Amino acid sequence: MVPDDLAVWRRLRDAGGVNPWSDSVRLLADGERPEALGTDYLSAEDLANPDIAANVRAIEETAALITWVADDPDELPEPTVSPTPAEYHVARYREVLAGPSA
């Protein structure tokens, strides 16, 4: 089920308008899946490995239970790892999304 607010943003996008995420994420169409779920990077040898094949099946089964609504083609920035325990702190989600600070 697609949330009502997402339907509004999709209609706006389809009419050529912008949404708050136009510069960062791409809204997916009904039934469309994020590119990150693709397995085209796996070779035939990889897929023949029972452990990898089981992992692919598990991901597929889990992904089928999710209503995918957006894809981030540039991917999220990775959290910065503190070089020493003294500099460690728990980053808020918005800090992680903003990336490393100068």
Cβ neighbours for 102, distance < 8 A, ≥ 6 positions apart: none
Rounded Cα distance between 31 and 8, Å, is 17
Asked if 97 and 77 count as a contact pair (C-beta separation under 8 A), the reply is yes
In a domain, 89, yes or no: no
Residue 40 lies in a domain: yes
**Number of domains the chain is built from:** 1
Domain assignment of residue 98, yes or no: no
- Asked, for residue 82, whether it belongs to a domain, the answer is no
Tell me if 66 is assigned to some domain: yes
3-state SS, residue 76:
coil
pLDDT at 56: 94
Domain boundaries, position 10: 4-76
- Whether 22 is in a domain gets the answer yes
Confidence (pLDDT) at 71: 82
What's the CA gap between 25 and 97, in Å, rounded? Answer: 12
pLDDT tens, N- to C-terminus, the chain (102 residues): 777 888 888 888 889 888 777 777 788 888 888 888 889 889 999 999 999 999 999 999 999 998 888 887 765 555 555 556 555 555 555 555 555 655
Distance (Å, whole) CA 68 – CA 2? 9
